[in-house]
Amino acid sequence: QYFCLQIDPRKVDISRLESLPQDLLGIIVSKVVDASTDDYINCILSCKELGASADDKRILQKLNLAPLVKKPLLSIQYVPLMKKTLAKNNLDAHYIKGIIRYFLLTNSVTGLHHLGVSANAGKLEVIYLYAIILCRGRVVEGKKYLNKLKWTEDTTLVNNCWKKIKISLHGIRVARKRCYLTSLRHMKPTATFCHLKDMKTTCGRCFYYKQMYKFIFMI
């Protein structure tokens, strides 16, 4: 009584799956997206009804864009997909768009907006990148974002974020802007016992400086 199903009259036998309303199929496929991108692809290719759910809001919002996160430059070849996922607030899409806008197109305002959306939603590597970029002038705010990664307890998470950032920015020119160098000078610790060339060992005095240094000179 709640649904009006559109059944193809040319089909003699209708499976239970095909008889389900599209909204319910969208829910099913969105659960598959959570589990595995490969399973999702196989799922939407398995039949026309499931394929039609590919544009469902819940799916576009959760869709894992890992291949494009690793190589943001490839997103230029997937403009329709990027538009759809951005419209549904996909965090990967915001991250990719932020990198392209900020670094490639040198549109810092729009780039920071997209990175901020993803960072504020809790995407860890984006929190790291967003924090480092903020340290170009908004140092206090940048440090607050880095602190969200709980580096004082364990630097493993920060190190993993750094590795992912390097992969995403590979092949993209990161300019050594004067504002970066100015912030770096201001963050440089005065303590003589901080070994500034040892990137693996940090303390409360040199942590922020070393993260900024890596971004400027080692990306």
Domain boundaries, the chain: 1-64, 71-217
Residue pLDDT, tens place only, 33-65: 555 656 655 654 555 554 455 566 777 888 888
Tell me, rounded to whole angstroms, the distance of Cα 105 from its chain centroid: 18
Q: What is the pTM of this model?
A: 0.77
The pLDDT > 90 percentage for the chain reads: 52
How does residue 169 score in pLDDT terms, banded at 50, 70 and 90? very high
Please report the pLDDT score of residue 194 as a whole number: 87
Residue pLDDT, tens place only, 137-156: 899 999 999 999 999 999 99
The helices-and-strands tally (H runs, E runs) of the chain is 13, 0
How does residue 1 score in pLDDT terms, banded at 50, 70 and 90? very low
Q: Give the residue, 130 or 12, on which the prediction is more confident.
A: 130
Provide the residue type at 45 as one letter: L
Mean pLDDT estimate for the chain:
82
pLDDT above 60: residue 7: no
Residues 50 and 25 sit within 8 Å (Cβ to Cβ):
yes
With 0-12 / 13-18 / 19 or more C-beta atoms within 10 angstroms meaning exposed / middle / buried, residue 103 is buried
pLDDT above 90: residue 25: no
pLDDT above 70: residue 175: yes
How does residue 81 score in pLDDT terms, banded at 50, 70 and 90? confident
Span 194-213, average pLDDT:
91
How does residue 67 score in pLDDT terms, banded at 50, 70 and 90? confident
pLDDT above 90: residue 91: yes
pLDDT above 90: residue 159: yes
Angle at 110 between CA 165 and CA 146, to 5 degrees: 40
pLDDT above 50: residue 178: yes
How does residue 78 score in pLDDT terms, banded at 50, 70 and 90? confident
What is the number of other CB atoms lying within 10 angstroms of the CB of residue 160? 14
- The b-or-e profile of 40-51 (16+ CB within 10 A means b, else e) is beebbeeeebbe
The Cα–Cα gap between 125 and 136 comes to: 18
